[in-house]
Amino acid sequence: MSLLWGLLWGLAAVMLIAGGAIIGVWWERKVAGRVQMRYGPQQIGPAGSLQMIADVPKLLFKEDIVPEGADEPLFRYAPLAVFAPAAMSLAVVPFAAGWAPFDSTVGALFFLAVPSISVIGILLSAWASHNTFAALGGLRAAAQMVSYEVPRSLSVLSVIVLAGTLRPTDVMAAWEWWWIPLTFVGFLVFLISSIAEMNRGPFDIPEAESELVAGYFADYSGIRWAVFMMGEYGALIATSLFGAAFFFGGHRLLPGVGGIVAMVVVACAIITVVMWVKWTFPRLRADQLMAFCWKVLTPVALVQLLVAGVVAAWL
């Protein structure tokens, strides 16, 4: 029974991410257009909203190219190893009071640990592509994603310290409104390190199009490339929902069904900020990125954790 349940939820998560990616790509193009004094898509459907519906069949019908010299099985299945962790991390998001698809006692730890599996998928794709650009991108991704795990985990830890539990639904039950100002710095650290974790601009160094063209997925085409993009948007959706829950109270903001709406609205706002940042800033260099992680984000996250710890002990 639980296996069937798990399969159903897996399917629901994939559908959610696929739908979210379709809306997300459209929204991102609209945000980018607004930032850049242009319109973005506007021809297909109202305000270009059906553009992605047209793009998905295009991606499906494209030739599935495996480059010569590539390690074929690894090359074919590496995108799944990037996509699956993003879908899995959605499972522990506390959507409503006392309810998460997979309500684990170590849900917060699960959320922090599982997305880092995607670095294995990235390394596999980089290695399997048999391409110098992909190899460089893969190595950059490995260094970056492993490093940014640290401030990301520390920032979430400050909320966990306040709540005194790792179970996301219990964290939501313990949540108080004044945690928002108290953990806001932690939220910023969480947001920045999540952007780096997702390889999005301005931290998209592993796939830097002006240097490495597309880095680890330079050789991918068609639907396998789309799976990489879905992984990226899936991570974005999971991160924003989780951030909205832990740092902004999620469904506790409004009573009843309004709570879920409030959580989705906050998550959409976070997604929009992430897109806005991407289209505003230039890209950091790999060494500057690491320096920023270890010299700025990690100490700030530690201070935030200390503050949260002192407050939690004092209460």
CA distance 63 to 116: 30
Binding to another protein in span 93-132, by CB under 8 A: 130-132
CA distance 26 to 47: 10
CA distance 237 to 28: 13
Give the shortest CB-275-to-another protein separation in angstroms: 12
Q: Cα dihedral angle (139, 188, 112, 270), rounded to 10 degrees?
A: -100
Give the shortest CB-139-to-another protein separation in angstroms: 9
Q: Whose Cβ is closer to another protein: residue 77's or residue 279's? A: 279
Task: Report the half-sphere exposure of 104 (CA within 13 A, side-chain side).
Answer: 13
Give the shortest CB-146-to-another protein separation in angstroms: 16
Q: Whose Cβ is closer to another protein: residue 72's or residue 287's? A: 287
Q: Give the residue, chosen from 35, 50, 80, 180, that forms a contact with another protein under the rule CB under 8 A.
A: 35
Regarding 62 and contact with another protein (CB under 8 A), the answer is no
Q: Whose Cβ is closer to another protein: residue 31's or residue 154's? A: 31
CA distance 219 to 313: 52
Binding to another protein in span 284-303, by CB under 8 A: 284-288
Residues 102, 91 contacting (CB under 8 angstroms): yes
CA distance 35 to 154: 32
CB burial string 136-160: b at 16+ within 10 A, e below: bbbbbbbbbbebbbbbbbbbbbbbb
Binding to another protein in span 206-235, by CB under 8 A: 208-213
**Site map (CB under 8 A) of another protein, residues 154-193, x = contact:** ----------------------------------------
How many of the chain's residues bind another protein (CB under 8 A)? 34
CA distance 208 to 217: 11
Q: Give the residue, chosen from 48, 79, 121, 201, that forms a contact with another protein under the rule CB under 8 A.
A: 201
CA distance 138 to 126: 5
Regarding 38 and contact with another protein (CB under 8 A), the answer is yes
Regarding 204 and contact with another protein (CB under 8 A), the answer is yes
Tokens 């301005």, residue located: 202
Q: Whose Cβ is closer to another protein: residue 129's or residue 240's? A: 129
Q: Give the residue, chosen from 1, 61, 63, 68, that forms a contact with another protein under the rule CB under 8 A.
A: 68
CA distance 222 to 64: 6
Residues near another protein (CB under 8 A) are 32, 35-38, 68-69, 130-133, 135-136, 140, 201-202, 204-205, 208-213, 279-288
